[in-house]
Amino acid sequence: MDYSQHKRFDEDFFNMRTDNDSELVEKVLSSTIKTLEKFLNEIDNNTADIDSIAHHLKGTAMVVGLYRLGYICSDIMKNDDEETVSELVDFAKNEMILLVDFLGEKLKSLS
């Protein structure tokens, strides 16, 4: 499974969506980081249905330009094979960890 053709973070799309409003950028980045951390915790603790998590994550990801994560989540939702879903969930977790760090750095740079 190769998702490298999809941007991890489409900054141009994100800036268009936030109209480069610095206050809005900070709010959206902060909210996105919290959402990713929440879903990482839920996945690690098996406290929610993975299809439900994938659905919500896909929506969050696509709205803010986290396309790689969005496509991984889309594939999770389409797949019935337990082993494949498990691999995709691992991909999604790794992507979320990278995004939390990346977006956190981006947020710090705004301060």
Q: How far is CA 27 from each of CA 13, 18, 20, 32, 103, rounded to the nearest angstrom?
A: 16, 10, 12, 8, 12
Q: What pLDDT, on a 0 to 100 scale, did the predictor assign at position 47?
A: 58
Q: What pLDDT, on a 0 to 100 scale, did the predictor assign at position 17?
A: 94
* Residue 16, token pair as written in the block: 């268009």
More confident residue, 26 or 43: 26
Q: For residue 46, is pLDDT > 90?
A: no
pLDDT-derived band at 45, boundaries 50, 70, 90: confident
Overall average pLDDT of the 28-35 stretch? 97
What does pTM read for this prediction?
0.92
Overall average pLDDT of the 47-64 stretch? 90
Q: What angle do CA 61, 56, 21 make, to 5 degrees?
A: 40
Task: For residues 108 and 26, give the distance between their C-alpha atoms in angstroms, rounded to a whole number.
Answer: 9
